A = this chain, B = another copy of it.
Amino acid sequence: MDIKINKIGVMTSGGDSPGMNAAIRAVVRTCAFHEIECVGIYRGYQGLIEGDFKQMNARSVNNIINKGGTILKSARSKEFMTKEGRVTAYAKAKEEELDALVVIGGDGSFTGAMVFSQEFDFPVMGIPGTIDNDIYGTSSTLGYDTALNTVVEAIDKIRDTASSHNRLFFVEVMGRDVGYIALNAGVGAGAEEILIPEENLGKERLIESLKRSRLSGKSSSIVVVAEGDKTGENVFELKDYVEENLPEYEVRVSVLGHMQRGGSPSCWDRVLASRMGVKAVESLLEGKTNFMVGIKDTKMVLCPIDKAVKGKTDINLELLRVSDIMTT
């Protein structure tokens, strides 16, 4: 592609996550720095189809780096999943004279970007924004670190009351079909058990493990359950099973829910978002397209967007072991 980039559109798409605003700010200000135009697209692909645009300059993004959510709002667009929808979207993009798109979102959003780019030879660049950390090609997605802190702070509070009452708590956390949040927040919160989709212990071993934990002198226990875990049908069914088999325990369930998606981003997520925004825009200016920006160790990297979508990162087995050792 040899298009000169004069105007970039930026959107947030799919589930929102802390750090999205910081990334928007970075995209907008990097455009300003390089003296090209930047257009905010509201409500993701749906807003692109509807031409819901707003010209943005460096001042439009004042005081948003510390805000959760996304000032551009987010949505899932069924229309964009049709060829017709995408044709309209392309027409709107041309009408607005957009030369490239920065999409902040998760793998669903990247699939959309990839298809759009291929169909219309349109430059796109992805920034991974999801609390689930389930994207290949980056060690960390925007919002993941903040969500971990939110979960750990909530479990710290639950533990106060758990240890006051000799209770067993099941805490369900987000993460769709992967266990990143559960595993890391579980280790961080000192959970006695962590149930993740990647490793199914089975109900019987859960009971045995809880018995062992009680015998070892622990009077209360926290079990972190990933929402995608399949040990029980769901966390409430699991509670019933445990209460039947361990009648000495009073079990309580906490479903943390959408508070995990919000909150002021952690320093890590803000810095990562700022670096990713710069990298995304400057990569487009260098003529690159169809990549996702990522971080590996301390460095910014690019990953072909199709690999980001299709690739699978295996769960960190070392961390599972750490969890086992910590619950000795």
Check B257–A253 contact: CB distance below 8 A: yes
A109 within 8 A of B: no
> For the complex, what is the distance from the CA of A155 to the CA of B85, rounded to whole Å?
35
Chain B residues with CB under 8 Å of A274's CB are 187-188, 322, 326
Check A139–B297 contact: CB distance below 8 A: yes
Chain B residues with CB under 8 Å of A278's CB are 321-322, 325
Check B161–A16 contact: CB distance below 8 A: yes
> For the complex, what is the distance from the CA of A187 to the CA of B160, rounded to whole Å?
22
A68 within 8 A of B: yes
A111 within 8 A of B: no
> For the complex, what is the distance from the CA of A267 to the CA of B328, rounded to whole Å?
20
Check B30–A267 contact: CB distance below 8 A: no
Check A263–B160 contact: CB distance below 8 A: yes
Within 202-246 of A, Cβ neighbours of B (below 8 Å) are at: 216-218
A307 within 8 A of B: no
Contact of A145 (CB < 8 Å), options: B74, B216, B268: B268
State how many copies of this chain the complex holds: 4
Residue total for A at the interface (Cβ-Cβ under 8 A): 88
Check A33–B328 contact: CB distance below 8 A: yes
A289 within 8 A of B: no
- For residue A42, give the distance in angstroms from its CB to the closest CB of chain B: 11
Contact of A69 (CB < 8 Å), options: B164, B189, B216: B164
Q: With A158-B258, A252-B257 in contact, do A166 and B328 touch (Cβ < 8 Å)?
A: no
A75 within 8 A of B: yes
Q: With A67-B160, A160-B18, A326-B29 in contact, do A257 and B254 touch (Cβ < 8 Å)?
A: yes
Which residues of A are in contact with B by a Cβ distance under 8 Å? 12, 15-16, 18, 20, 25-26, 29-30, 32-33, 58-59, 62-63, 65-70, 73-75, 139, 145, 148-166, 169, 184-185, 187-190, 216-218, 252-255, 257-264, 266-268, 270-271, 274-275, 278, 296-300, 316, 318-319, 321-322, 325-326, 328
Sample (22) of A-B pairs whose CB atoms are under 8 Å apart: A15-B161, A16-B165, A18-B160, A20-B164, A26-B325, A30-B325, A65-B189, A69-B160, A73-B164, A75-B166, A149-B266, A149-B267, A152-B266, A156-B264, A157-B263, A158-B262, A160-B261, A160-B262, A161-B261, A188-B274, A268-B268, A275-B318
